[in-house]
Chains A and B, each alone.
Chain A
Amino acid sequence: MLLAALAMAGVAVTTSIGGQGGAVRDQNVKTALGVAESGVEQGLLQYNRYGLVPDTAPCAPVGGTAPDAEGWCPEVSGTTVNGGAVSYRVKPTSTEMSGGKIAWTEMEVVSVGTLAGVTRRVDVTASSSAGQKMFVNATVKSKDGINVASNAEIHAGSATNGDINLEGLQCGAATVGVGKGLNGKGGYFSDIDCGTAGGEPGEDEIDLPPVNQGGAATENDNYRLFSLDQISGNKNTACFNGLNGTGKADKSCGARELVIGHNSSVTLGGGVYSFCKLRMDQNSSLYIAEGREILIYFDSPEACNYSSGATQLELQSNTRITPLAGKSGSAALLFVGSPDRSTNILLNSNTSVEEDVVCQQNFVIYAPYTDINLDSNTWFCGAMAGKTVNLKSHAEVWTSSGVQEFFLPLVAPHYEPTRFVDCSAVVVTGSPSEGC
């Protein structure tokens, strides 16, 4: 009897130990997964802090010389995290840009974490906004939704992760977010001439990566204002960085704020500008010098000391952003924005962002964290992407094929994960991503 009792106690103890062992193994699995993910973070960190990756040495950030035939850089190993061993391999992928330049726009990282005999492997793809074409399928894009009031018109493909609330016209193929819809009494056509009924819009998710301004906040052509980039009209009403056009102190503009007073104009002839705010008063113009392709970065509200709700681009009635008459030129207005502080773009009534009526240029507003508002009778020609896009009555957006070739600028890339796969633990054969 005593022996039987002891046997039962033994079974209980064995069961308990087994249960504890399972719990320990569960804990080791989680830790091994964390170790593997730390390898991915190490790989991304190496690339994000490296700067521009050379065309001919994509493995340089991880200390490698050349990738293998499949494009994988040599394995990086030898580090431990939380007592687990981590090793990873990186596969950069390039996109060829205009002018034959290479942009390493995507990278795949396969990382293995091992702890106490438990191995976990993850495969993460990360992409950079640098060098990406943002307007290939649609030239009006919005993260959260597009609102088109009555008599407002979009003559371009549109895409959003939210709803399209349509009381005016959407002429051009549209997609809405998964589970979202095209609502309202407006007209939806599949072509930009409003000739063919569009039916139901497609459902798709779009990605609007944040603006990476690189070193533009400090390395820019702001110094040209107003010495090389001169004012036409009343110099006392133009203001930048706290000084007006005559060089006198002016409180109407703060640091990196450009104000163009009514009936004045400024011609930009540099390459890269960094503003906190651009305000154009009635009947003012901002000209793009002949042949120039200008990037204007608008810094984050945090960097500009703006509170939530700040308007960073304000075009009052009858203002223009346009190339010099009869000349070529283009501009991209890139807004860094913030996920924590809302910002706005306001194109007031009768404003125009255009070259001429045939709309053959590359004007771009790219503002993934900023709400874009086009008031009544505003004409915009080019491509725009915002947190929301809101057209009031008689506002119009037109586009041309030229803007589809617009690349986000090739600055030092910042990779952010876009795809995560929890792989089988061990590679059987072949590529590091086999089994993922």
Chain B
Amino acid sequence: MARIRERAGVLRRSEGGFTLIELLVAATMGLVVVGGAVTVFIGAIQSQPRTSSKITAIQQGRVAVERVTRELRQGADVTTATPSQLSLITYVKQSPCGGAAAANAKACRVTYACTTAECTRTVQEPTPGSAATTSPLVTGLASGDVFTYSYSSGESQPDYIGVELSFGTQGGGPVVIADGTTLRNAGL
């Protein structure tokens, strides 16, 4: 008889379920986790265009700044130096200047002109009045003030030129890519 009672007790313990309290707590925790995941997902979906826009701006800016600073590094004889416009002589792998690509670089006059919409790049022979080829350099700018200049005491030519591209992005602050370089050539 005692063995029968003991066996019945074992059976009751193995068939025990969750209490109502346990079920309510578990359900609440599940809702919180799922709600968090949904919030993250919605946030990610909503911010994706903004993120994509910034990534595009960063990539575009990085390429443009690298291209500009490379030409400035080899540049000299700056004749126009304003925040939105820069004209100098630098080495370009084209022959003639503004024409077909060439294996070796030659001295050409390059002019950058920037507005709040875009920057253009014009290439021509160094002699004034020569034929020019203009092409867009970068678009989507938030400001046309791109160039800054540093001068040594008493010098009319800048020895350092800063480049700062500020891009407007969707639903966020501007993306700013900045760099600069000293001009390695005294005159070309």
Contact = CB atoms under 8 A, between A and B. Distances in A.
Interface of A: 1-2, 4-5, 8-9, 11-12, 15, 19, 22, 26, 29, 124, 178-179, 205, 207, 417-424, 433-436
Contacts of B28: none
A22 B62 contact: yes
Contacts of B51: 12, 15
A26 B79 CA distance: 29
B74 A1 contact: no
Contact of A420 (B44, B77, B103, B185): B185
Interface stretch (B15-23, B34-42, B141-149): B34-42
27 contacts: A1-B38, A1-B41, A2-B33, A2-B34, A4-B41, A5-B38, A5-B41, A8-B45, A12-B44, A15-B51, A26-B66, A29-B66, A178-B77, A178-B79, A205-B187, A207-B186, A207-B187, A417-B184, A419-B188, A420-B184, A420-B185, A421-B91, A422-B70, A422-B73, A422-B91, A434-B104, A436-B105
B41 A8 contact: yes
Contacts of A418: 185-186
Q: How large, as a class, is the contact surface on chain B? A: 20 to 34
A209 B186 CA distance: 12
Contacts of A124: 184
B79 A421 contact: no
Given A9-B44, A422-B91, 7 more contacts: A2-B34, A8-B45, A9-B40, A26-B62, A29-B66, A419-B188, A436-B105
Given A15-B55, A19-B58, A26-B66, A421 B74 contact: yes
Interface in B38-67: 38, 40-41, 44-45, 51, 55, 58-59, 62, 66
Contacts of A419: 185, 188
A40 to B, nearest CB: 10
B38 A420 contact: no
Contacts of A433: 104
Nearest to B188: A419
Contacts of B59: 22
A9 B77 CA distance: 50
Given A417-B184, A434-B103, A434-B104, A2 B62 contact: no
Nearest to B40: A5
A16 to B, nearest CB: 10
Contact of A179 (B34, B38, B79, B186): B79
Interface string B81-104: 000000000010100000000011
Contact of A205 (B37, B77, B93, B105): B77
Interface in B155-170: none
B41 A436 contact: no
Contacts of A207: 186-187
A11 B40 CA distance: 13
A207 B105 CA distance: 22
Contacts of B38: 1, 5
Contacts of B34: 1-2
A183 to B, nearest CB: 16
Given A1-B38, A19-B58, A422 B44 contact: no
A29 B38 CA distance: 42
A435 B185 contact: no
B72 to A, nearest CB: 10
A436 B185 contact: no
